[in-house]
Amino acid sequence: MALVYIEQVEEMQQTHEDEIKILNAIDNLAISYDRGEATLEELEQKIQEYVKHVHKHFANEERLMKKYDFPSYDMHKTAHDMFLEELNQAIKNWKNYKKVSKITDFIRRSPEWIVLHINTVDYPTANYLAKKMANSN
């Protein structure tokens, strides 16, 4: 079952679902790491996968918004930039303090942000893009 449905732009929906899967994997690895059942390297690799995924996700949305002249592009991009700044700060704190909780606290809050962002920002964007894409075909 999908986290939320953005039927108009299936690619956006799949990206969000993949993101939640990665977040869950990070959380599971962090728990396993605390129990001595996973290595720090495994956790770091999964976090790097998440960072790359988020950057690709946001870049793709921003590309589509520019391509179809989305009127609220600046607001949407600002939301992305703020999230990336928080993510970067969480990683920096994790590395500086050598405490996994510095990154897992952020990771565990992320699904709430994702749902809010989808419902308030991505959904209207997807509706706009779907209409523009249909008109261009």
Identify the CA nearest to 107 among candidates 2, 4, 8, 30.
30
Per the CB < 8 A criterion, the answer to whether 73 and 62 are in contact is yes
In tens, the pLDDT along 97-115 reads 888 888 899 999 998 898 8
Percent of the chain's residues with pLDDT above 90: 55
pLDDT of 127 over the 90 cut: no
Look at residue 118 and tell me if it is in a domain: yes
What is the reported pLDDT for 9?
Answer: 59
Look at residue 4 and tell me if it is in a domain: no
pLDDT averaged over every residue in the chain: 88
46-67: average pLDDT? 94
Per the CB < 8 A criterion, the answer to whether 22 and 50 are in contact is yes
Look at residue 123 and tell me if it is in a domain: yes
pLDDT of 50 over the 70 cut: yes
For the chain, what is the domain count? 1
pLDDT of 3 over the 60 cut: no
pTM for this one?
Answer: 0.86
> Distance between CA atoms of 120 and 117, rounded to whole angstroms?
5
Look at residue 14 and tell me if it is in a domain: yes
82-88: average pLDDT? 96
59-84: average pLDDT? 95
The CATH number for 17's domain is: 1.20.120.50
The HSE-up count of residue 132 (CA atoms within 13 Å, CB side) is 15
Look at residue 74 and tell me if it is in a domain: yes
Domain that holds residue 62: 10-136
Look at residue 2 and tell me if it is in a domain: no
Per the CB < 8 A criterion, the answer to whether 24 and 66 are in contact is no
